[in-house]
Structure 1
Amino acid sequence: MGISTQAQQFAHFLESVHAKASTPGLDLAVVRDVVDTHASASTEPEGVTYAGRGRRRRPRPVGHP
């Protein structure tokens, strides 16, 4: 079994971030770009919705209301 498509895409993403972050004398625009691209590294799973969820997102321990 070879390397998955997702693993290859993530490796390419990390290479691009490394190339940007390795630039000497980073200015604020480049730093913002690097930080913003980290948000695109993951996506929400398809078909998942958080509608109807309350503030508490963790299951409650047994015996606690």
Structure 2
Amino acid sequence: MPNFSAITQLGTDPSSLLAQAEVSLPQIMERLGHKDEDTTKNIYLHVTKEMKKEASQKFKELMENL
């Protein structure tokens, strides 16, 4: 089992890393014990630097293909 406290100390919540790895919201919710997806999305799913880079790259590619 990964050391989640060490990951959290790096400034990234483990649930955000799961989202970055494209784990589905229902699977993340189950792991966290949540029944309400808003709780999971609003409190635990933060956009990581890697996710921002990826979104920026995808946008750039879209704009180049117009």
TM-score, normalising length: structure 2:
0.26
| Larger helix proportion of the pair | 2
Q: Which has the greater radius of gyration?
A: 1
TM-score, normalising length: structure 1:
0.27
